[in-house]
Structure 1
Amino acid sequence: MMQQPASALALAQAVRSGYVDASDGVAAALARIATDNPVLNAIVTVDPDRSLAEAAALTRRLRAGERPALAGVPIVIKDAIWAEGWRATQGSRLYADFVAPASSLSIDRLRRAGAIVVGVANMSEFGCKGVTSNPLHGVTRHPIDFRLTPGGSSGGCASALAAGLVPLALGTDGGGSARRPAAHTGVVGFKPSGGVVAHGPGFPGSASLTSVIAPMGHCVADVAAMFEAILGPDPSEALTCTLPAPVLKPSEQLTIAYARTFGLGGPVDPDVAEAIEAAVTRLRAAGLQIIEVDPLWPAGACEAALMPMQWAGLAQSHGAAWQTDPDRFDPYIGAQIERGLGLSARDVLAAQGMASAIMQSAARFFHSGIDMVIGPTSPCLAWPHGQLGPDTIAGVAVDDRAHAAFTPFFNHGLCAAISIPVPSERSRLPIGLQIAGPRFSDRQVLALAHVAEAVLATPTAHQRSAS
């Protein structure tokens, strides 16, 4: 099998230079998928003829003098994103035979940048569960330990990346769906600011300010390049907007808040807490200005207070199908639909009011002299894939959404946020550091993440002596 360059950008340079033929790179990715995916079940659809035809078309573009930024880079896309001619099911039996009639703008933009779709990645049904499994495609497994879940809902993307099947993946993130699986598998997941990347064309109701298209990859530079490729509004989507020109500060001039639980409380696994604390210590030693301060959220703010919006959305979109044939649904999704059907208008308005208050609180926090905030992406390590979440965190019994506590508020705040891997001297499983900034701080978040990645990639004295 062909030896792949170390990163998406390195592969693109090799393709542009003629050192690697785009078709060979795609064939190598397809071979890796054929060999390793049957156990992982990270990728649920491949179309080798279509992918190789795209590679051949790219070769013609290169011969004509084009030099696209992601030339020949194989990517996988989440099963919720439309790519014309590819099956898109949202992990649901309702859409088992649906083929996308058009491509989302993000896919069109990636193709213009030279990237080539080689597969569609698994997800939880409608993206509404924190593990990646569904009745249509089954369970996606963690590449380090097949007994575990990569998390969800973009777990297929994360697992495919962590297993080395592809250099880049395109997920979505409506409450941490890209960041948490990235943290659990040791890759990078980026949530752009609400509105700066067009979402459609796509499934009805897919476009919103809180649920965003999310680049994922092995390193920050690759993810940043993917973000730049897909960046931009859609004139037909009223919610999208142009990312304002940034005024970037050097990372050492930023005031960075360290929030151990992002002001939300709750238990954190000792392995996670120790790894994040050690990372913060190293970042301070590298010259970053980090102070301990928590965001101040509205009274009663918690993920549970926001969930009626998800339940109501599911009930509106799929309530009739659920009532007609419940056996076609994941029972966990069906339970959410039932809750949505039982909600009153007052219940939904209260959740929307809380979301608005969280957005205002995030804006105030980042206008109080704080440029960025950092802390754990998830309070726990990956858990068995047959469970919705870990039973306990740090020895404390928790509900099945406790693993998701630290990500959703940044969606409702319309913030830019990223998860990068941090080293751990205790855990064999990956741990993620979350970095978040105000809306439209995307390039500043990516720049800080790039610095942090470089600092944390340098082995400690303990790690050097152990090797």
Structure 2
Amino acid sequence: MTLTLFPRDTAAGMAARLADGTVTPEALLRTCLDRIAALDGTLHAWVHLDPEGAARAAAASGTRHRAGVALGPLDGVPVSVKDNLHVAGMPARWGSRFFADFVPAQDDIVVERLRAAGAMILGKTSTPEFALSGRCFSPLTGHTRNPLDPALTPGGSSGGAVAAVAAGMVPLAIATDAGGSTRLPAGYTGLVGLRPSNGRIARRHGFPAMALDFQAVGLIAATLADLRLLYAAVAGPDARDPTSQRQPPEPMAGPGRRPRIGCCAAIEGELVDPAVRQAVAESAARLAAQGCEVVPCTVPYDLAALRDIWGVLTAAGVARMAARFPARWEAEASDSLKPMARRGAAMPAAEYVEALDRLATFRADVSARWGAHDALLLPSAAAPAWPVEQEFPAIIDDQPGHARAQNVFATWVNAMGWPGLTVPGQPHPDGRPIGVQLVGSHGSEALLFDLAQRLVG
């Protein structure tokens, strides 16, 4: 299956043309809606469009631009929001039949900030049910497809967000990331994606957490410059989110500062595509050429312990949702969620509390093992995108009887609440994009942006 894509318009380019008057917000909106109409019948990136609301935002933005009082660089720039985040007046279905008719009355804080920046919110993008899958299939929308090859998945759970940006439908997308859901899809589609530190982007008025504080609002863009624009508009503390008020200063590699980068592309017992390992090696060489000290390392986390903790937390989270819809659950829930709900419902309270104890130990151990590194360079995923019909998290490798788990380099970042930034690496020999990931300790977004700039040039 092939798809003819439109050239990607960057948010920075749109902002420049809006500022000099060579384009209007209304014209940008028409272009985006035309692209969505042409492509989304194949891609299924969108679950709700709000052309009337976007038109009102475009008209207000146009008035400000003509008066010379634009609200900032995102004033009049189109953006999408993932369907597990609340946008007042738009459905928030969470990829689930259980919320098919739910329309929140309040914006999440990130949406408030988009509106305050003058951005045009076109609508909501697809997610698997409860955002708990590494591919993007839900009972409501079916399969969301990768614009670069519609036979492949764009990943999940922010598959709709990356599909919309990679197809040139919008330049920016708001996503979420609880186990890699921003960074992996960005890597599968040749984009940049940020999972910020917990609290860096304040949150309020949303769905209940499925795995404690593992999830953060994520940002998707086609270029690092665009990601910086979006981050500047939506990051920052808010009194309604106490975690957001406990952010440390953002360290940055300045003149004379030689960052020390740990580099790892292998985990014992886990399969990693050779092309992914090569992409990390090529990125390591590029960072070294840009003045970084790059040293081999091993991952600082216990993957088996993490998988056990994640399994307990998500089972409990799904069981909570099943308990809210007992008469409908077995008939309407995604098949992949039903065994999780059964496990969670049968789980003793002591088992859950013990998982919290193990999480505390996990976090302490990773911090102790971090060492003298300023950041780590890792794969975003263990392999490039795979056929859209094939389930996640494990995909069958060429070796009979073996499987490759895609998120082995990702979910530990969520467990720590740390930032991770994916940028495109050297592609696979067959052309599929490969993402490489920079991870820093809590509050180090500015450093990651600096290092990412050295990678992308």
Q: Which residue of 2 aligns with 1:355?
A: 359
Q: Which residue of 2 aligns with 1:175?
A: 179
Q: Which residue of 2 aligns with 1:15?
A: 18
Distance 2:241 2:268 in 1: 33
Q: How far is the alpha carbon of 1:209 from its aligned partner?
A: 3.2
Q: Which residue of 2 aligns with 1:458?
A: none
Q: Are the counterparts in 2 of residues 322 and 334 from structure 1 also a CA contact under 8 Å?
A: no
> Within the alignment, does 1:260 sit opposite 2:265 as a pair?
yes
| 1:335-374 correspondence to structure 2 within 5 Å | 335-366=339-370, 368-374=371-377
Distance 2:398 2:174 in 1: 32
**Aligned partner (choices 273, 279, 285) of residue 277 of structure 2:** 273
> Within the alignment, does 1:429 sit opposite 2:432 as a pair?
yes
Alignment-mate amino acid for residue 373 of structure 1: L
**Aligned partner (choices 182, 187, 190) of residue 191 of structure 2:** 187
Alignment-mate amino acid for residue 261 of structure 2: I
> Within the alignment, does 1:142 sit opposite 2:168 as a pair?
no
Distance 2:449 2:172 in 1: 16
Cα 1:31/1:150, change in 2 over 3 Å: same
Deviations 1:62-120 (A, max 9, x none): 33432312122111110011111111100000111111211111011112112111121
Cα 1:258/1:393, change in 2 over 3 Å: farther
Partner SS state of residue 295, structure 1 = coil
Q: Are the counterparts in 1 of residues 322 and 329 from structure 2 also a CA contact under 8 Å?
A: no
Count of aligned positions: 449
Deviations 1:114-161 (A, max 9, x none): 211112110010001111011111110111222211110001101111
Distance 1:346 1:442 in 2: 36
Cα 1:396/1:241, change in 2 over 3 Å: farther
> Within the alignment, does 1:108 sit opposite 2:84 as a pair?
no
RMSD, aligned α-carbons: 2.2
Unaligned runs of 5+ in 1: 455-467
TM-score normalised per structure 2: 0.93
**Aligned partner (choices 184, 195, 202) of residue 198 of structure 1:** 202
Between 26-35 and 274-283, the greater mean CA deviation after superposition? 274-283
Q: Are the counterparts in 1 of residues 286 and 455 from structure 2 also a CA contact under 8 Å?
A: no
Q: Are the counterparts in 1 of residues 283 and 425 from structure 2 also a CA contact under 8 Å?
A: yes
Partner SS state of residue 418, structure 1 = strand
Cα 1:425/1:94, change in 2 over 3 Å: closer
- Could you list the structure 1 runs, at least 4 aligned residues long, displaced by more than 6 angstroms after superposition: none
Q: How far is the alpha carbon of 1:273 from its aligned partner?
A: 1.5
> Within the alignment, does 1:53 sit opposite 2:60 as a pair?
no
Q: Which residue of 1 aligns with 2:222?
A: 218
Q: Which residue of 2 aligns with 1:27?
A: 30
Cα 1:39/1:396, change in 2 over 3 Å: same
Q: Are the counterparts in 2 of residues 200 and 207 from structure 1 also a CA contact under 8 Å?
A: no
Distance 1:99 1:204 in 2: 15
Q: How far is the alpha carbon of 1:324 from its aligned partner?
A: 4.0
Q: Which residue of 1 aligns with 2:155?
A: 151
Q: Which residue of 2 aligns with 1:438?
A: 441
Q: Percent identity?
A: 30
Cα 1:38/1:298, change in 2 over 3 Å: closer
Q: How far is the alpha carbon of 1:300 from its aligned partner?
A: 4.5
TM-score normalised per structure 1: 0.91
Partner SS state of residue 239, structure 1 = helix
> Within the alignment, does 1:318 sit opposite 2:322 as a pair?
yes
Q: Are the counterparts in 1 of residues 210 and 318 from structure 2 also a CA contact under 8 Å?
A: no
Q: Are the counterparts in 2 of residues 306 and 352 from structure 1 also a CA contact under 8 Å?
A: no
> Within the alignment, does 1:407 sit opposite 2:410 as a pair?
yes
Between 11-20 and 77-86, the greater mean CA deviation after superposition? 11-20
Distance 1:113 1:187 in 2: 23
Unaligned runs of 5+ in 2: 1-5
**Aligned partner (choices 245, 260, 266) of residue 249 of structure 2:** 245
Q: Are the counterparts in 2 of residues 88 and 100 from structure 1 also a CA contact under 8 Å?
A: yes
Q: How far is the alpha carbon of 1:221 from its aligned partner?
A: 1.6
Distance 2:402 2:93 in 1: 32
Q: Are the counterparts in 1 of residues 192 and 424 from structure 2 also a CA contact under 8 Å?
A: yes
Q: Are the counterparts in 2 of residues 92 and 125 from structure 1 also a CA contact under 8 Å?
A: yes
Q: Which residue of 2 aligns with 1:303?
A: 307
Deviations 1:420-465 (A, max 9, x none): 11123613111000100000001111121122111xxxxxxxxxxx
**Aligned partner (choices 164, 170, 174) of residue 168 of structure 2:** 164
**Aligned partner (choices 408, 419, 422) of residue 422 of structure 2:** 419
Q: Are the counterparts in 2 of residues 43 and 119 from structure 1 also a CA contact under 8 Å?
A: yes
Q: How far is the alpha carbon of 1:323 from its aligned partner?
A: 5.4
Distance 1:384 1:69 in 2: 38
Q: Are the counterparts in 2 of residues 295 and 362 from structure 1 also a CA contact under 8 Å?
A: no
Distance 2:414 2:132 in 1: 15
Cα 1:278/1:110, change in 2 over 3 Å: same
> Within the alignment, does 1:392 sit opposite 2:418 as a pair?
no
Q: How far is the alpha carbon of 1:60 from its aligned partner?
A: 2.2
Distance 1:304 1:275 in 2: 29
Cα 1:77/1:207, change in 2 over 3 Å: farther
Distance 1:104 1:207 in 2: 19
